[in-house]
Chain A
Amino acid sequence: MSGEVTRIVARRHSGWIAYAREIVRFRDLFRFFVLRDIRIRYSQTVLGLGWSVLQPFLQTVVFTIFFGGLAGVSSGNVPYAVFSIAAVVPWTYFNNAVTNASTSLITNQQLVAKTYFPRLFIPLSPLGAGLVDLGIGIVLLLVVELAYGYYPAWWVIFALPLLVAMLFLAAAGIAIWLSALGALYRDVRYVAPFLLQILLFVTPVIYVVGSVPASLRPFYAINPLVGVIGAFRATFVHQSPLPLGSMLISVVVSLVLVVTGLIYFRRVERVFADVA
């Protein structure tokens, strides 16, 4: 018999170290949750993985026609299609991951009500699974920009893991908050799409940061996606310098969201099984 002892005490909770230890103990489960989400994402669809190309591709086409063409939104010194796809790829990841995570505890309520495992895996596994789509999206981005004669910066190889980490962190902060709130208040299911829509408009996906009045930019940069998307664009299109200031703000805001999200999640996770 292993020496471990599980103590269950009413109204007393394990510390953060014990919490982290549980996550490490179940780490293989997280891998299989991610694998499950990847396998089932496009199962029984005709196009399968083709969707991870089509989703950002069609989005870019729509933006290019309506914003770049009809509305005449400025994309600076690069063609609108290249300008927008560099942002649409990370945005699509963020949007899908957060949407799936926000309802994840409800869609997995059977699992939550009948088994024990670190609950945090549930909102985080769509974030892990989405990375496959993100990888395919980045290949699409490269193909499109090369077709237009644009190249990423030479240091893209070094920057990419960091960019993905920043994007993951930004998505994680919001995903943890929304999933916990969504388990208790089903309103989140209706609020989340709306929230994401607003977020799209306050993020430089369809327009350049330059069109935001300079006096508002410090507030604008509080949105963690401003720095992340700016960094993606600066790295892949390489026509503007890295927005280091807003990147730093983005990391700080994301970390604050992750930490506060974790505190809230831990406070309410013990009742998920009762209210789900």
Chain B
Amino acid sequence: MSLAVRTDDLGKRYRIGTRLNPDASLAGSLARIVHSPVRNFGNLRKLRHFGDGEDADVIWAFRNVSFEVEQGQVLGVIGRNGAGKSTLLKVLSRITEPTEGEAELHGRVSSLLEIGTGFHGDLTGRDNIFLKGTLLGMSAREVSARFDEIVEFAELEQFIDTPVKRYSSGMYVRLAFSIAAHLDPDVLIADEVLAVGDAEFQRRSMRHSAEELGRTVLFVSHDLSVVSSLCTTAVWLDRGSIRASGPVDRVIDEYMHSLQNEQTQDLLHRTDRNGNGLVRATRVAVTSPDGRPGSPIRSGEPVEVRIDYTLADAGATGELTVNVLIETLIRERVATLSNVFTKERIDATAGDHQLVCRIEDLPINEGDYMCTLRIELDGRLADSIADTVRFRVDPTGFFGNGSRPGAKDGRVLVRQSWHAE
């Protein structure tokens, strides 16, 4: 086997937001209007010039990333949101350049970082196939040679001369995927492309790429079942560094194990919040009623969500609205827990408090989920934090008879009985 992709101590840093300091006085504001062009110019320049010193607003998207992929292997890149996965693929696609290290890709590289990028709504399906095909590095002649196959695979023969803005979203995605599936690169780089639309069609396209054509594929996905079914090896990126790499099952196991420990999350250090801050959530936990942290969450059994919050202002009181949004790791909303639904009034008083939301019979199927928290005080958003706790649901006990529903059966489980009439 020969090497297809090699990265060597690859790193990429970004400069994040340029801070603004509010003015104390009118004179201050006026002075700022005069000075700010100079400072803005400096800030804009800093976006691309880095000093040698470590600035507070410089962050590493990833660093010291080294791995190798052999020809014909399918590598999955997994990790939490913000772990640097997408940036890594962008660097390997040459969309953005690394800050340090190097990488080597053998053969022709195509990357699909977002489905439908490059499509123009006013152009017909035919024009878009040529535009997108050449954008992905094919020559016009290669696109022509595969044109009929692409149209047939997308099942769009009748609509090929219709502007794509008149397509349904399903047709749009099918066209995009069909073009991708008929590319002929040696290395395909794909980001989360399995996340939208017609999942079955997309899996078919990916399999077509990987198995039939023997390509090397690098892809990012939040859907671990897809990663485990398509990939041979995986890399787990955690806050910009490789935590584990190797055979796919072992890496996924290690990653899952780390998720188990995130059923409780302290929120004090989280700064990525929205809201007026009158109420602040300090901790969230998803547990089975025995309350032990890390105990497994099972479908069909009771589950408790515990939210610790604090109301700092001694004089403030009001009515709380608490929403817990349960989402999949690709941010599809599965359910919302809210005291608005149950019409249970929660009055807030100063100090630290804990709220408990109890679910009697968890109807969610196998998978990994995360919670976004939103707290309103008297109808105004006081605190909201995305992606807090994560938990994995074990569906085996739901039917109480040894039946094992799985992720392929849908996101929810429904109590049911069957009889002949």
Contact = CB atoms under 8 A, between A and B. Distances in A.
Contacts of A2: 107-108, 186
Interface string B104-115: 111111010110
B96 interface: yes
Nearest to B142: A28
A8 to B, nearest CB: 4
A113 B107 CA distance: 23
Interface string A226-239: 00000000000000
B48 A274 contact: yes
A116 B95 contact: yes
A39 B161 CA distance: 13
Interface in B78-133: 90-109, 111, 113-114, 117-118, 120, 122-123, 127, 130-131
B48 A1 contact: no
Contacts of B71: 1
Contacts of B48: 184, 268, 271, 274-275
Looking at B41, B100, B120, B186, the one whose CB has the most chain A CB atoms below 10 A away is B120
Nearest to B49: A271
User: What band does the interface of chain B fall in when counting residues whose beta carbon is under 8 Å from A?
Assistant: 35 or more
A8 B127 contact: no
Contacts of A66: none
Interface string A20-44: 0000011011011101100110011
Interface string A89-132: 00000000000000000000011111111000000000000000
Looking at A9, A35, A114, the one whose CB has the most chain B CB atoms below 10 A away is A114
Contact of B135 (A1, A9, A117, A273): A117
Nearest to B45: A184
Interface in A49-104: none
Given A39-B122, A185-B44, A31 B109 contact: no
A5 interface: yes
B101 A10 contact: yes
Contacts of B137: 25-26, 117
Contacts of A111: 117-118, 135
A179 to B, nearest CB: 16
B95 A10 contact: no
Interface in A133-184: 184
Interface in A2-18: 2, 4-11
A270 interface: yes
Contacts of A115: 93, 95, 111, 113, 117-118, 135-136
A126 B367 CA distance: 48
A268 B47 CA distance: 11
Contacts of B47: 184, 271, 274-275
User: What band does the interface of chain A fall in when counting residues whose beta carbon is under 8 Å from B?
Assistant: 35 or more
A28 B140 CA distance: 6
Contacts of A39: 122-123, 127
Nearest to B8: A9
Interface string A170-212: 0000000000000011000000000000000000000000000
Given A4-B107, A10-B102, A43 B114 contact: no
Contacts of A270: 96-97
A28 B132 CA distance: 11
Given A5-B105, A110-B117, A115-B117, A36 B123 contact: yes
B29 interface: no
Given A8-B98, A113-B95, A274 B134 contact: no
B285 to A, nearest CB: 37
A28 B105 CA distance: 23
Contacts of A7: 102-104
Given A36-B120, A273-B95, A8 B140 contact: no
A106 B362 CA distance: 47
A113 B135 CA distance: 13
A89 B248 CA distance: 63
Contacts of B135: 29, 32, 111, 115, 117
A126 B81 CA distance: 38
B94 A6 contact: yes
A31 B127 CA distance: 11
Contact of B96 (A6, A185, A274): A274
Looking at A2, A32, A112, A271, the one whose CB has the most chain B CB atoms below 10 A away is A32
A168 B102 CA distance: 38
B139 interface: yes
A29 B94 CA distance: 17
Per CB-CB distance, the 7 closest pairs between chain A and chain B, nearest first, are A29-B134, A28-B140, A9-B102, A6-B105, A114-B117, A273-B96, A8-B103
Given A10-B100, A113-B95, A274-B47, 20 more contacts: A2-B186, A4-B106, A6-B104, A6-B105, A8-B94, A8-B104, A8-B105, A28-B140, A29-B135, A31-B134, A39-B127, A110-B117, A115-B93, A115-B113, A115-B118, A116-B95, A117-B135, A184-B44, A271-B48, A271-B97
13 contacts: A2-B107, A4-B108, A6-B109, A10-B100, A35-B127, A110-B117, A115-B136, A116-B111, A184-B47, A184-B48, A185-B41, A270-B97, A275-B47
